[in-house]
Structure 1
Amino acid sequence: MIRVSPSGHNWHQQFLTDILYNRLNGLNQSGSDLDFYLFRLSLKPKEMRDLFDTRAADGSVLRREEWIRLFFSVDRPFVHYSSNFVYRPQHVQVPGHPDLVGGWVAREIRHSERTPPEEGLEPTIRQTWQALFVAIDPTNHPDGQLLLIEGNDEIGRPKALVRAIVKAMNDAAGSPYFTQVFPLVNAGSFWEFAIIHREEIVSLTFDVAAPNMFNDANDFQEELRSLRDQENVSEVKTTLKSDTVLKHSSSRIAEIVNYVERGAGELSAEAADGSRYSSTQYEVKETVEIESHSRNMPKFLREIGNVLSRFFP
C-alpha cells in the first residue's frame, strides 16, 4: 500500500513550511541572487458573454483590472507538465505601489521513500513544495498589467509557468476576458542585429496581441484595435518579405518593434546572409541580491517589497 504524507487536510500548513525551509536553504552568508523575468498581460473581452460571467457587485461587467485582481486574490491550482501547481496570494508591501498584487507559484514534489524498519519498510510518498515569488501590477495604464516572476528552473521555466497560469486564468469559470502574455524584450536588440548585418533584413515575422493597455496613437496599433473590435481578433501573426531588402527603418516597422519590446508579442527576422534574430533570445531579466539577514518569511517579504519597487513605474 502506498501512503501519502502529509494528509490532505493540512497541506496548506505544509506548503508554507516548505516555502520557508527552501528560502532559508537558498540563502547563504553572502546573500542570494534572484533572477526576475518581466511579462505583459493583454486582455481582450470575450465575444460571447453569458449569465455565468463573473461580474462586479452591481452586476456590471468587470473591468480588466478588477478581473486580474480577482483572479490573483485566491488559491488557483493548475497542472503543468503533469505536475501539480498552485498559485497562492501573498500580501507584500511595496513602497509607493499599494496596488501591486503578490503571490507564490508553488510546485508539489513527491518523494518515493520507505517507512522506518520498525514500521515495516512500507513504500510511502512524502509530499513537499517548492515555490517562487510573483508580483502583478493589475492597473490599466501605458506601462501597466505587468507581471514579474522569480526564475527557478527547478520549479519551471518562467515563460512556461506564466503561460500555464494564464491558461488557468482563461479556463476559470466565468472568465470575462481572454488573456495573453508575452515577455518584455531588451530595447534595441533588433536594431543592433540590423546594424551588425549591414541593414540587410529580408524578412520580418511578428506575432502580437491586440492591444488594450498602450495608448499610443500610431497606425499599427490602431489597425490592431480595429481588428480586435471589428473582427474579434485576439492575435495577429504576419511575415513581411522582400525580393531584395526590407525598408525596416520605416515608421511602421519601428512601431512593430517598439510594440514587441514593450511586452505585447514576439518578433523574428532574417538577414540577407542567413543570420536570424529572435526576440525570445533577448527577453528582459533582472538580477537582484537578497541579503543574508532575510532568515524568515516576514523579513524576506519586507526585503522583496523593497526590491520590487524598482521594477514598477
Structure 2
Amino acid sequence: MRFFEFIFELLSPAIVTKRLTDRGFHLPLDHIPPMTLRGAILTAFFREGRVDKNFLSKEVRSPELIVSPAYPFVEGRKSYPCHPFAYKCKVPHGDSLEVINYATKIIHDLEAEREPQIEFTCSRGHSTIEGLHPKPVIPFGPNLKEVRILFHEAISVGINKHKASSERNMLFDYEAIAAGQKFWATLALPNEKLEINEGFEFFIGRGISRGFGRSRVTSVKEVNLNEEVEHVKNSIKNKAIVLYALSPLLSSRDVISSPYPTEMCSGKLLVDRVYGRMTSLHCGWDMMSNKERPTLKASNPGSVIVAR
C-alpha cells in the first residue's frame, strides 16, 4: 500500500452541503467529507478504465482505497480541524477578537497523567467565548487563524424539454463552495498500478451533470510511512501518548460501529480518553446495492485521544 498527500483545486463550484430541502441545497461544508472524496476518486478511476466492476465490488466489502477529509489550502498553508482546546472571545479586545490556543499546556498535562484544566473565560475574564473545534484553522506557531470558505449562491429553473420553456413549481436555489479554492488530503492506494498524478481530474458532490464539482490535482507527494512510524515512536516519551484525529473517530461505545484501533506498530495502543464533540457520521450511499449506508456516532475531526 502506498500513501500520498495531494492538493486539488475546484475548477467549478462544488455542491457539498449539510442540508437538502425542497428548494435545493443549503449550508455548504467547510471541508470535503472523506466518503465524498473517495467516491469521486473511485468514479474517476472507473471512467478512465483503471479499475473494473470487480474492483469496485471488492471495495464495498473490504475498502483498501482510503482517503482523509480534504481541508482548505490557503496561501500556501494547510489548514487543520481545530482541537477542543482553543477558543475566541466574542467581546472585542481592541480592534480584534482574542483567539486563545492552550493545547500545549493541555498536552503536557495529559502526557504527565495530570488532569487538564479546561478554560472557560478569556484573558479579561469574559465568559462569552466560542470554541473553534472542529472548524478549519491554520497554525502560526502558538497562534491560530480561522479559515473562511468562499461560497457561491445561485437560482436555477427546471426546463420542460418538450415545451422548451420553464416548468411550473421547479424553481431551485443552491449554495456551493466557490470555484478557485484549493484543498489538501491524504490518500492510500492499494497497489502499484493505481496512481494519482498532477492534472488528474474528478468531480465532487452534487450536480456533476451540470458541470458542478469539477476538480483537478495540482500537487502530489508520496509519504514515507517508515519516517512517520519513527516520528510516532520518538513521541512516546511518557506512559501516556496524545494523538490528534485528522478524520472522524468512531465511538467504541456504539454497538454498530467499529471500536477504536488497538494495534499500532509492534505493540498495543489502548485508548483511555477522547476529547472532542460528538457528531453523526453519514456514511453515504452504496451505489452497488443502491441503498443508504448507516449513520454512526463519532468524535469530530480535531479530537484529541489519550492512549497508553
Q: Please, what TM-score do these two structures have when normalized by structure 1?
A: 0.20
Identify, as 1 or 2, the structure richer in strand: 2
**Larger Rg belongs to:** 1
